[in-house]
């Protein structure tokens, strides 16, 4: 194959036959988001292709992906090496991650859903392996889910130590008690803060420098509840035990202090609803999946440049 050429993309071969190792198969995506084997086969094929085209990364690709027998083992190895320190050893972390993924099938289901979410929603994501190896938002969520398991098991010192390392390495600070759904995209992820009693639903997309925080005065249940399909723009701040309804959109830089109804758009500081509080404009799509940040501008009568 000529240098720089892209390997051919072929359909899956008949049963009993194998594709060449550098070919990325074009097989239908899984009908259910727990089909780990489909995504894992995709990742291995992508990494073989990339290792052939860029020999400098061949050892890294082999150690991180191709030497492992499952997505859970590869992810555990990768997270352990990313988050280890001189006193928090990679071998300890590898065992911790692998045990969590092995004994909690819901974690593996959520990992696959997150990979699919990033691949489908982020045009900069070129492959599943690109997400697995390089997307710190994806990696931070997977590590958080393990810290959450530790928190629920009353292993809180270890959960908090893991939270600290996630914050140090990925610049994403999620309290171990926070509950995160599946199919979640942290796009760019830098500066994301999610508080202790926050809840994030399924198929939610969150941009960088988003804060789901408390007001500073309340105790107990004091953080936002984000329903399914919500899109939160870069730099948005949502404070207090408020609910963001399913399929709502929060504009970049907005400050939200009260509930936002489902399928509406809130923008500004303080945030207000597009179309007005009495009859807000309703969204037809699911913004957490469509990633449409700006369609509301035509309806915002006082938008001026």
Q: Please say whether the beta carbons of 69 and 83 come within 8 A.
A: no
Together in a domain, 163 and 54: yes
Residue-level pLDDT at 57? 95
CA-nearest of 210, 209, 216, 257 to 230 is 210
Does the residue 287 lie in any domain?
Answer: yes
- pLDDT, one tens digit per residue, over 67-88 is 999 999 999 999 999 999 999 9
Together in a domain, 112 and 191: no
Together in a domain, 154 and 224: no
Residue-level pLDDT at 217? 82
Over the chain, what HEC string results? CCCCCCCCEECCCCCCCCCCCCCEECCCCCCCCCCHHHHHHHHHHHHHHHHHHCHHHHHHHHHHHHCCCCHHHHHHHHHHHHHCCCCCCHHHHHHHHHHHHHHCHHHHHHHHHHHHHHHHHCCCCCCHHHHHHHCHHHHHHHHHHHHHHHHHCCCHHHHHHHHHHHHHHHCEEECCCCEECCCCEEECCCCEEECCCCEECCCCEEECCCEEECCCCCCCCCCCEECCCCEECCCCEEECCCEECCCCEECCCCEECCCECCCCEEECCCCEECCCCCCCCCCCCCHHHHCCCCHHHHHCCCCCC
Together in a domain, 199 and 149: no
Does the residue 25 lie in any domain?
Answer: no
Contacts of 135 (CB under 8 A, 6+ apart): 118, 125, 189
CA-nearest of 209, 276, 202 to 238 is 209
Residue-level pLDDT at 108? 95
Together in a domain, 43 and 165: yes
Question: Is residue 8 pLDDT above 50, yes or no?
Answer: no
Which one of 157, 172, 187 terminates a domain? 172
Q: Which residue has the tokens 């404070």?
A: 239
Residue 115 CB coordination number (10 Å): 27
What are phi and psi for residue 237, nearest 5 degrees?
-125, 125
- pLDDT, one tens digit per residue, over 134-173 is 999 999 999 999 999 999 999 999 999 999 999 999 999 9
Mean pLDDT over the full length of the chain = 89
Does the residue 210 lie in any domain?
Answer: yes
Together in a domain, 51 and 162: yes
Question: Is residue 283 pLDDT above 50, yes or no?
Answer: yes
Domain hosting 126: range is 34-172
pLDDT range class, residue 27, cuts 50, 70, 90: very low
Count CA atoms closer than 13 A to 251's CA, side-chain side: 17
pLDDT range class, residue 35, cuts 50, 70, 90: confident
pLDDT range class, residue 32, cuts 50, 70, 90: low
> Cis peptide before 176, with omega less than 30 degrees from 0?
no
Together in a domain, 81 and 129: yes
What percentage of the chain reaches a pLDDT higher than 70? 86
- CATH number of the domain where residue 101 is located: 1.10.3130.10
CA pair distance 24, 11, nearest whole angstrom: 9
- Mean pLDDT is highest, among 16-30, 33-47, 54-68, for 54-68
Which one of 172, 188, 210 terminates a domain? 172
Residue-level pLDDT at 299? 60
> Would you mind telling me the total number of residues written for the chain in this entry?
305
Together in a domain, 72 and 87: yes
Q: What is the mean pLDDT of residues 30-44?
A: 78
CA pair distance 131, 281, nearest whole angstrom: 35
Together in a domain, 214 and 270: yes
- pLDDT, one tens digit per residue, over 218-268 is 899 999 999 999 999 999 999 999 999 999 999 999 999 999 999 999 999
Which one of 147, 172, 197 terminates a domain? 172
Question: Is residue 282 pLDDT above 90, yes or no?
Answer: yes
Strand 243-244 versus strand 265-267 pairing type: unpaired
Residue-level pLDDT at 298? 63
Together in a domain, 49 and 158: yes
Q: Please say whether the beta carbons of 174 and 144 come within 8 A.
A: yes
Question: Is residue 295 pLDDT above 70, yes or no?
Answer: yes
- pLDDT, one tens digit per residue, over 175-228 is 999 999 999 999 999 999 999 999 999 999 999 999 999 999 889 999 999 999
Q: Please say whether the beta carbons of 210 and 190 come within 8 A.
A: no
Overall number of domains in the chain: 2
Residue-level pLDDT at 301? 58
Question: Is residue 13 pLDDT above 90, yes or no?
Answer: no
Does the residue 26 lie in any domain?
Answer: no
Question: Is residue 12 pLDDT above 90, yes or no?
Answer: no
- CATH number of the domain where residue 287 is located: 2.160.10.10
Together in a domain, 126 and 221: no
Together in a domain, 164 and 192: no
CA pair distance 267, 275, nearest whole angstrom: 11
């Amino acid at each position: 194959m000529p240098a720089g050429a892209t390997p051919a993309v072929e359909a899956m071969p008949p049963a009993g036959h194998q594709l060449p190792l550098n070919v990325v198969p074009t097989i239908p995506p899984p009908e259910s988001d727990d089909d780990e084997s489909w995504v894992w086969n995709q990742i291995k094929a992508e990494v073989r292709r990339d290792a052939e085209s860029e020999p400098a990364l061949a050892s890294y690709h082999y150690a991180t992906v191709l030497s492992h027998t499952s997505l859970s083992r590869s992810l555990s190895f990768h997270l352990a090496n990313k988050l280890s320190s001189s006193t928090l050893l990679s071998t300890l972390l590898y065992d911790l991650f692998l045990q969590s993924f092995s004994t909690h099938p819901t974690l593996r289901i959520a990992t696959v859903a997150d990979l699919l979410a990033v691949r489908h929603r982020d045009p900069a994501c070129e492959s599943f392996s690109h997400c697995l190896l390089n997307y710190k938002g994806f990696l931070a969520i997977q590590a958080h889910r393990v810290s959450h398991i530790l928190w629920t098991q009353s292993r809180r010192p270890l959960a908090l130590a893991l939270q600290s390392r996630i914050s140090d390495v990925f610049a994403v600070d999620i309290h171990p008690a926070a509950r995160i759904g599946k199919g979640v995209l942290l796009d760019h992820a830098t500066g994301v803060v999610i508080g202790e009693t926050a809840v994030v639903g399924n198929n939610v997309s969150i941009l960088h420098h988003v804060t789901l925080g408390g007001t500073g005065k309340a105790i107990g249940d004091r953080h936002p509840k984000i329903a399914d399909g919500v899109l939160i723009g870069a730099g948005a701040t949502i404070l207090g035990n408020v609910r963001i309804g399913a399929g709502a959109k929060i504009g970049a830089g907005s400050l939200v202090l009260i509930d936002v109804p489902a399928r509406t758009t809130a923008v500004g500081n303080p945030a207000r609803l597009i179309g007005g509080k009495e009859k807000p404009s309703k969204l037809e799509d699911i913004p957490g999946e469509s990633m449409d940040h700006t369609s509301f501008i035509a309806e915002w009568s006082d938008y001026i440049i």
